Amino acid sequence: MPGGGDDEYRSTVFDESFVRAARLQEFSARERLVDCEHPVRPLPPRPLHGVPWRGLVLAVLIVLAFGAVVYAGVSGPRQPVEQPGPRVMSSTVVPLSPDGGNGVPGGRPSRLFERSPAAEFYTGAAGVTLPPVRSTAHFADSQVLAALAVAKEYVVESSLNPEVLSGRTARPVRILIDPDQHAQFDRSIKRPAADGHHAATGWLVRFDPERTEFAGEGVRVRGTMKVREAEADALEIVTDHVFVYAVRPAARADGEAASLFTVRRELRLRFDREDLRDHHLTVERSEVRAGPMSCAARAHDALRPLTAGQTADADHPAGTDPYVRDGGDSPVCGTLDPSSLPRP
């Protein structure tokens, strides 16, 4: 109606979408008779269309499941890492038998040394010299020097210490060896065996005191030491030395001549960071050649030199039974070149 109160709503179009979006609904005439105080009632909220509710719920569930699997893998019990066992020293001890029927040369120790290839060797520990010290990829020069110092100490104690050479003790050598090898070392000293792993003379030089004594003039020594990095956590030192001892029979008569006995020792020593910290080393390999000595001598137990005037005669290694299993290494023997003996 012109001029009526409805004019202000003329611009509003009450289309279907407007009606659907309305949040109130007018009561019918019958409903208004029952409840005259409330002409309208609120409508319940309409569900939203077009939103992928099921997809969202599924995605959330997948993420939660994946997270649970990852958490279980990270925090669950892990399989224990198997620790490697102790490194086992392997050794070879080869007696060198003199060639020919002539007896072992004898005389005063000083004269014997002068007429032997050891004439220019140093005496005692002075012959165990260190190479130039250089750092490696993973070890500082101070660590390399520490390893060389322990290696020299081991060579000196195991080859030059009179108490060790006579078989009276092995402790100065044992305290330098990694404790993981103590069981093998102790078995080798107490129950030596020619099995490639338990030769006492693989760990140290020792003589049978009932058969051999030293004639003085010191031990002549010459050799080399080489360092390399075995791996990022370990150094390896290879030592190669010749030791020449002046010896006599233990039950000698006064004025009995001395003779020279030569031992060639090649050792492969390993140092991990724990060894460097504790002043230890691990002996991985030992190769020993010694003579003049009988092929039949029990060289894995103690060294038993042939002394002045003695001959090898028809010397040959002890027999080997191929039918015996686990019988140890087959006997090995070499021939001592005459040029290694003192000149007449």
pLDDT of residue 251: 77
Say how many domains are in the chain. 2
Residue 194, token pair as written in the block: 């020619």
Do residues 50 and 99 share a domain? Answer: no
3-state secondary structure 102-130: CCECCECHHHHHHCCCCCCCEEHHHHCCC
Give every CB contact of residue 95 below 8 A, 6+ residues apart in sequence.
290, 291, 293, 294, 295, 297, 299, 333, 334
Between the CA atoms of 171, 172, 173 and 176, what dihedral angle is there, to the nearest 10 degrees?
A: 110
Same domain, 114 and 263: yes
Residues 278 and 158 in one domain: yes
Structural domain harbouring 126: 91-311+330-340
Q: Which residues of the chain have pLDDT under 70?
A: 1-57, 69-84, 100-101, 252-255, 314-322, 324-331
First-last CA distance in the chain: 153
How, if at all, do strands 334-336 and 90-98 pair?
parallel
* Residue 85: inside a domain: no
Q: Are residues 46 and 179 in the same domain?
A: no
Residue with tokens 């191929």: 322
Which of the listed residues 25, 41, 73 is the one where a domain comes to its end?
73
Is 62 in the same domain as 99?
no
pLDDT digits (tens, 9 = 90+) for 328-338: 556 688 888 88
Kindly state whether residues 33 and 119 are assigned to the same domain. no
Q: Which helix (DSSP H) or strand (DSSP E) does residue 243 occupy?
A: strand 234-249
Residue 245 within any structural domain of the chain: yes
45 plus 129 within the same structural domain = no
pLDDT value for 311: 86
Phi, psi of 203, deg, nearest 5: -90, -35
pLDDT in tens, 122-152: 999 999 999 999 999 999 999 999 999 999 9
**Does 316 reside within a domain?**
no
Interatomic CA distance for residues 225 and 233, integer angstroms = 20
46 and 110 inside one domain: no
pLDDT of residue 193: 93
The reply to whether 78 falls in a domain is no
Of 73, 99, 120, the last residue of a domain is: 73
| Distance from C-alpha of 340 to C-alpha of 283, rounded to nearest angstrom | 28
Left if phi > 0, otherwise alpha if psi is -120 to 50, otherwise beta: which for 139? Answer: beta
Q: Is residue 323 in some structural domain?
A: no
Q: Looking at 30, 47, 73, which one is the last position of a domain?
A: 73
Interior/surface letters 333-343, b for 16+ CB within 10 angstroms, e for the rest? beebeeebbbe
Identify the bridge partners of residue 242 per DSSP, sorted by sequence position: 222, 264
Distance (Å) of CA 299 to CA 151, 239, 241: 24, 21, 18
For residue 320, being part of any structural domain is answered with: no
Task: Give a yes or no: residue 82 inside a domain.
Answer: no
Whether a cis peptide bond, with omega within 30° of 0, leads into 249 is no
Q: How far apart are CA 334 and CA 343, in angstroms?
A: 21
Q: What DSSP element (H or E) covers 145?
A: helix 141-159
The maximal CA–CA distance of the chain, rounded, in angstroms, is 158
Residues 6+ apart with CB under 8 A from 329: 92, 194, 195, 196
Same domain, residue pair 65 and 28: yes
Q: Are 220 and 122 in contact (CB under 8 A)?
A: yes
Task: Report the distance separating Cα 171 and Cα 175, nearest Å.
Answer: 6
Same domain? 107 vs 252: yes
User: Do 40 and 120 belong to one domain?
Assistant: no
Residue 168 lies in a domain: yes
pLDDT at 312: 79
Are 22 and 161 contained in the same domain?
A: no
Query: What pLDDT does residue 49 have?
Result: 54
